[in-house]
């Protein structure tokens, strides 16, 4: 009985590791046929916060009217400052910290859900309520995303959608 239990535990561990690796595509940036993702997340914002209601994010013809990353790596829309009430959490990191890897060497493939709860590689997240309209058009079961740390909003991460070149604030919900 004990030997069977140990074998079962070993098989479950191997399968969970395999599923995690399948959900993640490590490799050189830009090898997926999608535009090259940002090399790093935004830097901490310094300056007067942009508090304009109903602001426009489309800074050039053809650019989306949601927070996005420019081809030169500038994070358009990440300029509301550390004290933005939309991203204030009373208990940051309630479910722990995401440890799956950040940036362009950790490409994740969405495996289901929606803005309220989505997952990949056994990791679960949800989109900040203020950002839900910014992820219209995301394919929650197929899009490739990258996770970046948010230097301004404690407890939040930034999920960058490679196909859309847009991003939203997400909170880690655990494994």
**Predicted TM-score (pTM) of this structure:** 0.81
Query: Tokens 């493939």 — which residue?
Result: 109
**What burial class does residue 151 get, using C-beta atoms within 10 Å of its C-beta: 0-12 exposed, 13-18 middle, 19+ buried?**
middle
Per-residue model confidence as pLDDT tens digits over 2-23: 665 555 555 545 444 444 444 4
Does the pLDDT at position 43 exceed 80?
yes
């Amino acid at each position: 009985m004990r030997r069977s239990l140990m074998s079962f535990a070993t098989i479950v561990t191997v399968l969970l590791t395999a599923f995690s690796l399948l959900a993640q595509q490590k490799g050189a940036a830009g090898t997926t046929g999608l535009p090259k993702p940002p090399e790093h997340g935004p830097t901490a914002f310094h300056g007067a916060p942009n508090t304009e209601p109903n602001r426009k994010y489309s800074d050039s013809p053809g650019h989306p009217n949601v927070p996005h990353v420019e081809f030169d790596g500038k994070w358009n829309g990440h300029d509301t400052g550390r004290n933005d009430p939309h991203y204030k959490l009373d208990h940051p990191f309630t479910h722990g910290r995401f440890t799956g890897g950040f940036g362009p060497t950790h490409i994740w493939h969405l495996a289901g859900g929606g803005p309220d709860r989505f997952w990949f590689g056994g990791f679960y997240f949800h989109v900040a309520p203020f950002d839900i309209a910014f992820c219209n058009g995301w394919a929650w079961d197929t899009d490739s995303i990258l996770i970046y740390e948010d230097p301004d909003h404690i407890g939040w991460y930034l999920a960058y959608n490679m196909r859309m070149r847009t991003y939203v604030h997400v909170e880690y919900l655990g494994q």
